[in-house]
Amino acid sequence: MPRLIYTLLLLLAAPIVWLWLLSRGRGGAAAWQPWAAERFGRFPQPWDGRQPVWVHAVSVGEVRAAKSLIQALALKGETVILTHLTPTGRAEGQRILTDEIRRGQVWQQWAPYDFQGSMRRFWQHFNPRLVILIEREVWPNLVHVAREQSAPIVLASARLSEKSLKQARWIDRLFGGLLHDTYQGITVALAQSDADAQRLFDAGVAQVQVCGNLKFDMQLPHVAVQAGQHWRQRLARPVVAIASTREGEDKPMVNQIKAYLEASHGAKPLFLLIPRHPQRFNEAARLLDGASCRYARWSVLRDDPASDEHLKAIDVVLGDTMGEMPFFYGAADIAVVGGSFERHGGQNFIEACAIGTPVIVGPHTYNFADAVASANQAGAIVQVQSPEQAFEQVKQWLVSPEAAQHVGSQGKSWVINHLGATERMMQAIVELEGGVSETSASAHEQRQQ
């Protein structure tokens, strides 16, 4: 009954969501394709009969994190069905897994809506033998249908914040244990940390292992990082990246840039303002216009042979492209990582640390709580409480670059010390499948007797 009520509410909410998508800029519903047949589990072409591994990575961050695991599965000879909810996630998957897609090892699809009919049609078409959900994508009908088909479900690089656990318990009180029953359906959760493991167990997952965070194993493209470093050398001025800003963060950051530039005398750094989502690029441009900042769009600069000369006359580059964060982090002397100055839970700061770029984050980092605590303890980042404090730290580091370099070096060492999540997860998956095979064989023997 709780799952039925959930499904009915999902059906009622769907038209509102679709109307909202129609109103969005930068592609809107055309980019999201909310009425695509595959979102309803319908596919015009038959599948070839191979039982694939289904990996669900909802958006950009999850796709990037899942890359090493997907590549390890492909090396093992698996065929992977990779599903997404967002167009940015789908585009990122296409970009970073080009070779695997070309070789037919990875097939991209929109994730089916979590309607029971959509999930069952998806299953009838692909018949996956294993489901891997990245980080926290636990959906009631998906889990229910997978369990109906006796397919093991792995929650990989699993995380569950204290806030999310409280929300799950509130939903369970409202819907009669809906999420507890769903978490019970997870075969094994491969958690990022001991704290995540305990919360996942409390949420209902019976089998939990701590394997670490896949984001530590992300291999940033060396060519892009090196290109960013060479670009910085040509500029001959410090570069401060304000990266992955979310809703409500661009305005205070632009105000801080303006105040810094007005108070500064002599050589000024070049600021990179990089919104997290493409639909907010134009909004960020309007804020820069309103603050009378001299800026240029990266989408124009990167293809301009005279861009080095143009850069001398501006103070801000608006990062209005996708997939170029390794270049920007390579170019940056300092990275202020957004998503953490408003209540969004933080964005991935590990990429910048892996390069050795000194990192500043804000107070709201519950999506990365354990990683932030560990990085703070290692002296690998600096955490502040506001954009004003972030810019105070920027000023200090620009005056004393050796202090910034020390934090960057600590960050790089911290990342190296946390490598290996992919290998541990692959081992856990192999052991899981071995156990499932033995159980199936035993059940078959009992039926024969």
What are the start-end ranges of the H helices in 236-264? Answer: 250-263
**Residue 62 annotated to the active site:** yes
Residue 227 backbone phi and psi in degrees, to 5: -65, -40
* Residues 66, 71, 73: CA angle, nearest 5 degrees: 95
Q: How many residues are present in the chain?
A: 449
Distance, CA of 328 to CA of 221 (rounded, Å): 12
Comparing CA positions, the residue from 141, 133, 135, 103 lying closest to residue 5 is: 141
**Sign of CA pseudo-dihedral 167, 173, 178, 181:** positive
Residue 339 backbone phi and psi in degrees, to 5: 75, -5
210 touches 297 (CB < 8 A) = no
Comparing CA positions, the residue from 133, 132, 29, 98 lying closest to residue 323 is: 98
Distance, CA of 133 to CA of 71 (rounded, Å): 15
**Sign of CA pseudo-dihedral 376, 379, 382, 384:** positive
Helix (H, G, I), strand (E, B) or coil at 85: coil
**Sign of CA pseudo-dihedral 276, 281, 284, 285:** positive
What are the start-end ranges of the H helices in 275-342? Answer: 281-290, 298-301, 307-311, 325-331
Q: Which residues contact 415 (CB under 8 A, 6 or more apart)?
A: 216, 350, 353, 354, 380
- Three-state secondary structure string covering 164-175: HHHHHHHHHHHH
Residue 412 neighbours by CB distance under 10 Å: 17
Axis-axis angle for helices 401-416, 387-399 (nearest 10): 110
Tokens representing 188 are 């094994």
Distance, CA of 89 to CA of 315 (rounded, Å): 31
Inter-CA distances, 182 with 150, 200, 203, 345, Å: 15, 12, 9, 24
**For tokens 């959900």, what's the residue?**
133
Q: Which of 38, 62, 249, 324 is catalytic?
A: 62
Give the residue numbers marked as catalytic. 62
